[in-house]
Structures are given as structure tokens and as C-alpha cells.
Amino acid sequence: MYKLGIDLGGTNIAAGIVDENYSVIAKYSMPTLLPDTPKNIVGRIMDASYKALKRANLSVDDISSVGIGSPGAVDSNKGIVLFANNLNFRNVDLGGMLSEKFGKKVYCENDANAAAFGEYLVTGSKEDTLVAITIGTGIGGGIIIDGKIYSGNRYSGGELGHMVINFEGIKCSCGRRGCFEAYASANALIGQTKEAMQKNLNSAMWSLCNGNINDVTGKTAFDGLKIGDATAKQVVEKYADYVSIGLVDIINTIGPSKICISGGISNEGEYILEPIRRHIELNRPINCQTSVYVAKLGNDAGIVGAANLDISR
């Protein structure tokens, strides 16, 4: 039997059919179109799901389990999204609404937790503790301990982007100062790149963005590094240091066997992993053997994890 996994995001809804080998055999993605009501969003979720099923030449009757990952604090026992700021959801019975539509139980979980569980399924063993870090506009996190999703009190655990790494530092969007996210997100990297370019008008990064600093992206510093630009190298090294500070804190606190990194920055592969590992090695606790690697499933992690939420408990 196949399973249906749904990844609900602030920008897109992705639905996929997952087989017993954790492979996505068909999927369909469409815009979330926010702001909108929960009822209308559920309608688009169903539309994406049925189109994914059609691509796989399957019907709902061929699906043994349905799961969805949603942003925000999600009561995974009741299927209720307690609060999701970007969706404007508060106490939304997402599981109940979808169960009524599908005619079968729908499992719900935080989207970062679902993605972490997907990665665990394809890379972990029952004894592994895995932490998944998604580096994008912000920083998301998911924690898997002994094969189970760790949700914390009131389903609000795993907000790893809001660990403080500099208590007198930059103000974060959450209102605190010095959060991991404020220094190590893709948005933070863009800001660091622009600052370095403004201090060095001879940097090759100016030509990479056609002289327009507003065209700087999370790739600009890495592209500059690859062509030997000294300023770009300094930006990447400093950024890797920020990322590693947060990862060492995670290692010290949780002691995971694995940390996987996803999001756009992870596409840089060893260009980002090598300095991160080097910085961790200088600061990691004695005898800690945590491996750090790029997530195996990429954008499909949320779909694979959501589809298998029935075995996450």
C-alpha cells in the first residue's frame, strides 16, 4: 500500500505519494495563496492531493495512511494547529477537516518535525538521535530521539533557530536579541554579504550581482568564493562560524548522532560543510561523534515524513 504525505507551507502546498521504500513516486505542488481561510486552504490541499493521486494512477482507497506537516505549534494527538503565524491559524482542527474529506484518519505534525522524521527514516537506525536544521528565510529545527519525534511541552519544542548565541546581539524577528536565526539564516547571510561588499568596493561579488547590491542572494558569497574572491571567502568563513556556534550548542545539549542540514544553503555542499565541520571540531565536546551532512531527501523530506506519521508514535 502507498501513503500520502502533504507539506503545507506559507508559499506552496506539496502533496506526494510515497511507497514502502520511502520514495516519492508522484507529487503535485500548488500555491497556498495566503492570506485565506482554513476552509479554502483545505480545499487546495485536497486539490493537490487528488492531482498527486491521479499522477500515480491511484485513488484514496489505495492509500493506507495520510499525514500532513504544517507550520506552527501542532497538537499531533488531536490534529489541531494551535498557532501558525504565517497561516493565520489559531486552534484550527486541520486533522478533523481533512479526515472528513478523505474519509480516513489524517495524522498532523509540525512541518519541520515531519521533515526531520523523513530524514530519519532514510538515514537512521532505532538507536539514532537526529537533529534536522532547515536554513532558509529563518531557521527551523526538528528533533528525533530513538525514532520518535520530540515535540516538547505544548508541542512547541525544537525551535532551534531561537537559541541565543549572542545575548547582546542583533535583534531577531521574535523580539529577542542574538538568536541563532539572526546570524545563521539565509537572510542573515545576505545581510553579511552586503555589509562586506560595501566595505570592499573591489570585491568580485559586485560583478556577480551586476553592480546592484539589491540583487545579492544567499549564493553570492559562495559564488565569489568559487572564483577566488578574498572578501567572499571571509564572508563564508564567518557565516560558517555562526552556523557552527549553534550546532555546537545543539551537540552540547542533545548529543545527537547526526545533524542534517537542508534549505538553499545546503545546495553548496562541501563549500559550506567543510568550514562548518572545521569550526565544530575546534569547539565540540570531547568524544562527541556527531556527523554533519546535507539532508538526503531535499524538498521531499516533509512529504516523506508526513506520509509516515502513522509510525512516528
**Comparing C-alpha atoms, which of 157, 8, 114 is closest to residue 70?**
8
The domains found in the chain, sorted by start residue, are 2-121+299-311 (3.30.420.40), 126-295 (3.30.420.40)
Question: What's the whole-number average pLDDT of the chain?
Answer: 92
CB atoms within 10 A of CB 303: 31
Name the pTM for this structure. Answer: 0.86
3-state secondary structure of 87: coil
pLDDT in tens, 33-42: 999 999 999 9
Rounded alpha-carbon distances, angstroms, from residue 188 to 77, 178, 209, 210 = 35, 12, 18, 21
Q: Which three cell numbers stand for residue 178?
A: 542574538
Angle between helices 230-254 and 270-283 (to 10 degrees): 50
Question: Are the beta carbons of 111 and 125 closer than 8 angstroms?
Answer: no
Question: Are the beta carbons of 308 and 65 closer than 8 angstroms?
Answer: yes
pLDDT in tens, 86-140: 798 999 999 999 999 999 999 999 998 999 999 999 987 777 899 999 888 788 8
- Averages of pLDDT over runs of 10 residues in the chain (313 residues) are 93 95 96 94 98 97 96 92 89 97 95 92 82 87 90 80 90 89 94 97 96 96 97 97 95 91 90 94 77 90 95 81
